A and B are shown apart, each in its own frame.
Chain A
């Protein structure tokens, strides 16, 4: 094992130390913002540098099997032995880079974005804690350690969504995220129990080694295990049917949306599927479910994003949609492609969110300066911002071109690879062609709604307001600097895994081979001819161009009215604006029945009648009745007592003497 890999514990522990220090500062000296920034950003920079060393060690050694670093025995219980152990291999190395790198950039951005917030220290404490748990998640060498990180990031997500908890709606959004994630975690737990029951171990290395001999291909057990795992992924990674929490999670500060709800935490589900690729490969039905749900989510979320006015909601649905692509990738067995899209998406989506944060920041300050209360996130209040914010506009366009899949940008290669792999699978199962088509349509919509967002935000006339216009400013360098870094990543991350027809292709694919080779035996050969590949690349280009040009020509930002004066939407537009009424449907199908049951059955019958009535008051009534019977003997009359006493003695004597 290379020496640098042994330092991986420091990568994890530094953010935890940052959390402790910033947590203490937030309680004792919340006004010490310089110290908070230094600690909060410092630990991340150090952590990132050490992570680079760790990944460098992995790269030079190129180990065939993962390095497992066991620190101590955590839960010894009978046949169950769980160690606190980290696993460093090619897959966790990729995640290590994405998590520490993007986190570092977003921490720096937060210094500018959150600078005026009174909860600055608390914010950085939570953000550091999140990075700690995320690293535990990606480094855990067994399911329970991973689950600790899994739950921990959920907790931090909840804390940061409800960061401005004085606002009731924001606090509710946090609760919604937490509860939706519990449903998924239930699946994760069930899967863990079933794996332990079947294999007798929960360590990744042992489970994946034993899996081919333990489970039969397509068997019921493995299918149930993987479906339960996928339920966990659907919760964490916001897939149908558990995706509704993610758009609401935009209530949190924008850098949080960028870090947790776009680049890192929500991709944990994709990581989990890629990590357990052996199990999913043995269960083709589950894999197909993963791919189908991913494709459906990609399209469904994209349609909603078409008509959102809140800039962060557009990006939120876009994230859900892109996560759908990743699941499509890992579902068809192209685990490297899924991880590839995860990596490129981390760059361009973090960039989009931070850019939108920069815009919101500018509008917020403008409205603050004129004491007007308008929605700083509504695109109808934006428009023409390119004149005031040239840097942000440029970087946002880079990210938009990347996510839309314009050739040579990173998103083009990653999205195309997923679609190509899905297309290849269509050769042996026609259903994959359907998924592929759904993916292509979703790609068209992606290009369209992203261009729409850019048009309405940065182009056309400005709708912010006469007085406010002069107050619109470009963000400070501490915010635009991170945008630049992410923009570079958004452009060049595609080089990680170029298509097979280009020179130097498939680097990430080869890098991940030691991790995915266990599943390769169960999957058809995912190779496609260069003609097909050129055709698919051409099609992807046409789709991206059609989406962008369509939006450019079809949409008229000049005719848009500010949010206050905007007309009410009708017909299909209204349906899309209201997100296909899914929240309302869930409300009718789940929330209201549960509330009704809680009110009528659990409270008014079970609690009031049974618990309070039968058990609490009932036992009191019985005791009182028995007491009343007993008290009839207590006449207080000495004569009666003496009489009973003598009678008792006589009866006893009669019994004894006989």
Chain B
């Protein structure tokens, strides 16, 4: 089957997500990178489910549900921050500095 290439794509997507989270400054882009990581994980779940049974595919649905909820909350925060600061650049969001 296509297990090896599937996991490879998953790893590449995940790494891209991590790199995006660490390197980008725009909060929405960081947010999309998090989604990218989640979906990379989903891909590896589905790929492995081919060999290990259907539970992996069930988990994917959970992940998608959680991701949807997270997106709703995250975007709401983003909008609130934008209204407040007219920017979503994380360099400018440091209200919690000790």
Binary B-proximity of A307-350 (CB < 8 A = 1, otherwise 0): 00000000000000000000000000000000000000000000
Q: Once the chains bind, are A642 and B21 in contact (CB under 8 Å)? A: yes
Within the complex, the shortest CB–CB distance from B95 to chain A, in Å, comes to: 6
Residue B71 lies at the interface, judged by CB distance under 8 Å to chain A: no
Check A637 for interface membership: any CB of B closer than 8 A: yes
CB pair B94 A633 closer than 8 Å: no
State A639–B94 Cα separation when bound (angstroms). Answer: 10
Contact call A636/B94, Cβ cutoff below 8 A: yes
Q: Which of A596-645 contact B (CB under 8 A)?
A: 630-639, 642-643
Give chain B residues whose Cβ lies under 8 Å from the Cβ of A631: 98
Residue contact B91 to A632, C-beta cutoff 8 Å: no
A636 to B22, CA, bound (A): 15
8 example contacts (A-B, Cβ-Cβ < 8 A) are as follows A630-B98, A631-B98, A634-B96, A634-B97, A636-B97, A638-B94, A639-B90, A639-B91
Alpha-carbon distance A635/B94, docked complex (angstroms): 7
Question: Which residue of A is nearest B33, CB measured?
Answer: A642
A interface size (C-beta, 8 A): 13
Q: Check if A646 sits within 8 Å of B96, measured CB to CB.
A: no
User: Chain A: which residue is nearest B95 at the CB level?
Assistant: A636
Point out the residues of chain A lying under 8 angstroms from B90, CB to CB: 637-639
Please classify how large the interface on chain B is, using the bins under 10, 10 to 19, 20 to 34, 35 or more. Answer: 10 to 19
Docked CA distance A425–B30 (Å): 108
- Closest A-B pairs by Cβ, 10 of them: A636-B97, A634-B98, A631-B98, A636-B94, A638-B90, A636-B96, A637-B94, A642-B21, A635-B97, A639-B90
Instruction: Collect the chain B residues with CB atoms within 8 Å of residue A642's CB.
Output: 21-22, 30
Give the contacts of B57-98 with A (CB-CB under 8 A): 90-91, 93-98
Q: How far is the CB of B45 from chain A (nearest CB, A)?
A: 18
A636-B98, A637-B94 known; 15 other A-B pairs, CB under 8 Å?
Answer: A633-B98, A634-B96, A634-B97, A635-B98, A636-B93, A636-B94, A636-B95, A636-B96, A636-B97, A637-B91, A638-B93, A642-B22, A643-B22, A646-B21, A646-B22
Chain A residues lying within 8 Å of B54, measured Cβ to Cβ, are none
Q: Mark B19-53, 1 if CB is under 8 A from A, else 0.
A: 00110010100100000000000000000000000
Asked whether any CB of chain A lies closer than 8 Å to the CB of B11, the reply is: no
Cβ contacts under 8 Å, B94 to chain A = 635-638
Q: Are A632 and B18 in contact (CB under 8 A)?
A: no
- Whether B93 lies near A632 (C-beta < 8 A) is no
- Tell me, rounded to whole Å, the shortest Cβ–Cβ distance linking A626 to chain B: 12
Contact B98 A632 (CB under 8 A): yes
> Which residues of chain B are near A630, meaning CB under 8 Å?
98
| CB-defined contacts of B25 to chain A, threshold 8 Å | 639
Give every chain A residue within 8 A of B93 (Cβ-Cβ): 636, 638
Q: Which chain B residue has the least Cβ–Cβ distance from A645?
A: B21
* Docked pose: A198 CA to B95 CA in angstroms: 73
Q: How far is the CA of A630 from the CA of B25 in the complex (A)?
A: 25
A632 to B95, CA, bound (A): 14
A637, chain B: closest CB distance, angstroms = 5
Q: CA of A643 to CA of B30 in the docked complex: distance in angstroms?
A: 12
Q: B23 — nearest CB in chain A belongs to which residue?
A: A639
A638, B96: Cα distance in complex, Å? 10
Find the B residue at minimum CB distance from A627.
B98
Q: Which residue of B lies closest to A639 (CB)?
A: B90
- In the complex, the answer to whether A639 meets B22 with C-beta atoms within 8 Å is yes
What CA separation (Å) do A465 and B95 show in the bound complex? Answer: 88
How far is A630 from B97 in the complex, measured between Cα atoms in Å?
Answer: 11
How many Å lie between the Cα of A58 and that of B30 in the bound state? 102
